[in-house]
Amino acid sequence: ISLEADERVTSVLAMPKTVKEMQGLSLFMVTKQGTAKKVFAESFKDVRRSGLLAIKLAKGDELLSAIFVEKGDDIALATTKGQSIRFKESDIREMGRGAAGVRAMRLGKGDILIGADAVKKADAGGAALMVMSAGGYGKKTMIKEYKIQKRGGSGIKTAKVTAKTGNIISAKVITDVVDEMVVISKKGQVIRTDMNAIPSLGRQTQGVRIMKLREGDQIASWVCF
């Protein structure tokens, strides 16, 4: 795909091959400033080489993430200052590709969204929200601790952010089939950790040290499998 000078890829998704497989599937997009929209997956069945418009962004806003959702899923969002919200995917109606979207979460001053994931209906009982901070601290909190709210609210606390932990840089929904995680820092340090070694803690806690970082280093990204 051809990108503008100030553009970058934010998400890569595996697309179903047939229209039949796309039925009941929607593309859910969320921006850093808390705007979200949902579009039928069928709207992207024929994509030109130059790409298609997926969402109309407000000035100064950026697309954070795009995920596939189905009827009955919940959406979990988290911010860099440690707030989170969980709401039903049905709270956001289907829109056209050119629409700007609606408010998914109300953000505090200086706060931005850093994570968006789907909570599958079948996994809701045992799923957890895993958050990682820039300073190498992380934790799991059971999804059942996040009450279902209406979209557009300011949410509830998901992690205690301190000078030691640094801001939250990523959040993902994980299930009991996830065994390990790999974390990498901005200076190329890598660690591989058993997920069972990471405790399940309450929402108001800061978590435990996942990686000990060298001076001036921060967590860049992590993946679980």
**pLDDT category of residue 165 using cuts at 50, 70 and 90:** very high
Nearest to 34 by CA among 92, 93, 74, 73: 92
**pLDDT category of residue 121 using cuts at 50, 70 and 90:** confident
Q: Which of 13-17, 148-152, 153-157 has the lowest mean pLDDT?
A: 13-17
Burial 185-197 (b: 16+ CB within 10 A, else e): beeebeeebebee
Average pLDDT over residues 56-85: 96
pLDDT at residue 20, rounded to an integer:
86
Q: Is the pLDDT of residue 152 over 90?
A: yes
How many Cα atoms occupy the beta-carbon half-sphere of 134 within 13 Å?
17
- As a whole number of angstroms, the distance between CA 24 and CA 136 comes to 38
Q: Is the pLDDT of residue 46 over 80?
A: yes
Q: Is the pLDDT of residue 174 over 80?
A: yes
Check if the beta carbon of residue 139 is closer than 8 Å to that of residue 199. Answer: yes
**pLDDT category of residue 124 using cuts at 50, 70 and 90:** confident
Q: Is the pLDDT of residue 189 over 90?
A: yes
Check if the beta carbon of residue 171 is closer than 8 Å to that of residue 128. Answer: no
What six digits make up the tokens of 224? 């679980």
pLDDT at residue 100, rounded to an integer:
93
Strand segments (E) across 80-216: 83-88, 102-103, 113-119, 128-133, 137-142, 156-157, 168-174, 180-185, 190-194, 208-209
Q: Is the pLDDT of residue 182 over 90?
A: yes
- As a whole number of angstroms, the distance between CA 78 and CA 168 comes to 8
pLDDT at residue 104, rounded to an integer:
98
Nearest to 28 by CA among 70, 57, 61: 70
Q: Is the pLDDT of residue 112 over 90?
A: yes
- As a whole number of angstroms, the distance between CA 217 and CA 169 comes to 13
pLDDT at residue 17, rounded to an integer:
85
pLDDT at residue 45, rounded to an integer:
86
Q: Is the pLDDT of residue 35 over 90?
A: yes
